[in-house]
């Protein structure tokens, strides 16, 4: 008995998804997930808030970056939607006219959830390395950690892991401090 032939996903498969679903094409497969949970959104929003002013706008920091929420990346045959991405303006002097980016970012931040952590680590990390993304942050709201990876010889090198309420000056944004506790939903004491 013949097994059915594997059919590669195409861009139209993404366009056919309902609005409340995020779709990506990773290694030829359509991967879907629901919109992020509130604690996931909180972590991504705080990170964006901390770095857009000093790096994107140049207010209180060095400037020279584009920092965007959930940009659509077309990297070879893969279509990815990281939680946040940043390009040095020397890498990407102008934003594209298309609704996607074909230039790999210099920095990506993925906020992990139980439903996405395996794909973010096992599938997306190698794709980001293949496309020479220089820095990758993995934020885990459940474990209350931030892992910072640097690309070295096409492999990820864990630079540092911060946790709980640490104050972070993480590359490539080491000029600005991030208080980790701001990323987490406060624990409410009962009784």
DSSP state letters, 119-161 = HIIIIIHHHHHHTT-SEEEEEETTTTEEEEEEEETTEEEEEEE
CA distance 168 to 173: 10
State yes or no: pLDDT of 4 exceeds 60: no
Short-list 104, 174, 170, CA closest to 139: 170
The CATH class that applies to domain 37-183 reads: alpha beta
State yes or no: pLDDT of 154 exceeds 90: yes
Residue-range domain boundaries for the chain: 37-183
| Tens-digit pLDDT profile for residues 48-77 | 999 999 999 999 999 999 999 999 999 999
Q: Locate tokens 């032939």: which residue?
A: 5
| % of the chain at pLDDT higher than 70 | 94
Residue 3 pLDDT = 55
User: ω into residue 172 within 30 of 0, thus cis?
Assistant: yes
13-17, long-range: CB within 8 Å, 24+ apart, which pairs?
Answer: 14/79
């Amino acid at each position: 008995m013949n097994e059915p032939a594997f059919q590669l996903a195409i861009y139209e498969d993404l366009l056919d998804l309902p609005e409340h679903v995020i779709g990506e094409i990773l290694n030829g497969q359509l991967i879907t997930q629901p919109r992020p949970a509130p604690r996931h959104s909180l972590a991504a929003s705080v990170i964006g808030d901390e770095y857009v002013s000093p790096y994107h706008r140049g207010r209180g920091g060095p400037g020279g970056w584009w920092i965007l929420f959930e940009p659509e990346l077309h990297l070879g045959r893969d279509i990815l939607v990281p939680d946040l991405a940043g390009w040095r303006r020397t890498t990407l002097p102008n934003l594209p006219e298309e609704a996607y980016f074909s230039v790999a970012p210099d920095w990506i931040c993925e906020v992990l959830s139980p439903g996405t952590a395996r794909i973010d680590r096992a599938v997306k990390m190698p794709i980001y390395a293949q496309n020479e993304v220089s820095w990758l942050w993995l934020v885990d709201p459940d474990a209350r950690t931030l892992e910072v990876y640097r690309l070295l010889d096409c492999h990820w090198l864990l630079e540092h892991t911060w946790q709980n309420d640490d104050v972070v000056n993480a590359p490539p944004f080491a000029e600005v401090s991030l208080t980790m506790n701001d990323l987490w939903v406060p624990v409410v004491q009962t009784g």
